[in-house]
Amino acid sequence: MPQPERLLYEEGYRFVAGTDEAGRGPLAGPVVAAAVILPAGWHHPGIKDSKKLSARAREELFGVITEAAVSWNWAGVEAPDIDRINILQASLLAMRTAVLGLDPAPEYLLVDGPHGVPGPMPHAAITRGDQKSQLIGAASIIAKVVRDAIMEKYDRLFPAYHFSKNKGYGTAAHLQALARHGQCSLHRRSFRVSF
């Protein structure tokens, strides 16, 4: 099955963007979205869903992608806003903000997941898009690398929670730290936690 962007290039689109997010499921930290436009016809065999890559592979591909990109951008929505508007709306807001920062503006947008990004831009929402589109896969890698770096910085501010290891996800050690210390300002109050 051809990648969706290839069909768009064949229709005459030049600037097609992919967007994806990282960090919908953690108990702490932001949700981060990335958007990327790659040159039409550019391909790298290693680009796929960021969750299927090691941290080292993601970091190497981050450099390859950002160097090759026509344009790339990322945006994050922090825990208080996630609590206020919910994680789905926060994810879509982060994607929209990342896309609006692209220059040139994309002519068409490929979005990971079943929900479109609000706005007038023509787009397609693709379930499991990070496995079907190299553009979405590239965006997933950028989003994951950026978010991991943010959580490593937060680890220095809140060392009791071991964010450099768990990236805010509900690991056993993270749940133990929550039981011992309670929540910090990075924790999402709207997420139910049992410990």
What pLDDT, in 10s, does the model give residues 6-52?
999 999 999 999 999 999 999 999 999 999 999 998 999 999 878 88
Q: Which residue has the tokens 């609006």?
A: 100
Q: In the predicted model, is pLDDT for residue 88 greater than 90?
A: yes
Q: In the Cβ-directed half-sphere of 173, how many Cα atoms lie within 13 Å? A: 10
DSSP H helical ranges for 1-70: 4-10, 55-68
| β pairing state of 71-77 and 31-37 | antiparallel
pTM of the model: 0.95
Sign of CA dihedral 124, 129, 130, 131: negative
pLDDT of residue 107: 97
pLDDT at 2: 64
Edge-to-edge order in the sheet of strand 123-126: 71-77, 31-37, 16-22, 108-112, 123-126
Range of weakest confidence among 2-11, 73-82, 174-183: 2-11
Q: Which domains does the chain have, with CATH numbers?
A: 4-181 (3.30.420.10)
Predicted confidence at residue 38, as pLDDT, reads 98
Read off the pLDDT band of 175 (50, 70, 90): very high
Both tokens of 190, joined, read: 């709207």
Q: Which residues of 69-100 are buried (b: 16+ CB within 10 A; e: fewer)?
A: bbbbbbbbbebebbeeeebeebbbbbbbbbbb
Q: Which residues contact 7 (CB under 8 A, 6 or more apart)?
A: none
Average pLDDT over residues 181-188: 96
Q: Residue 119 has what pLDDT?
A: 83
Token pair of 1 as six digits: 């099955």
pLDDT in tens, 96-151: 999 999 999 999 999 999 999 988 889 999 999 999 999 999 999 999 999 999 99
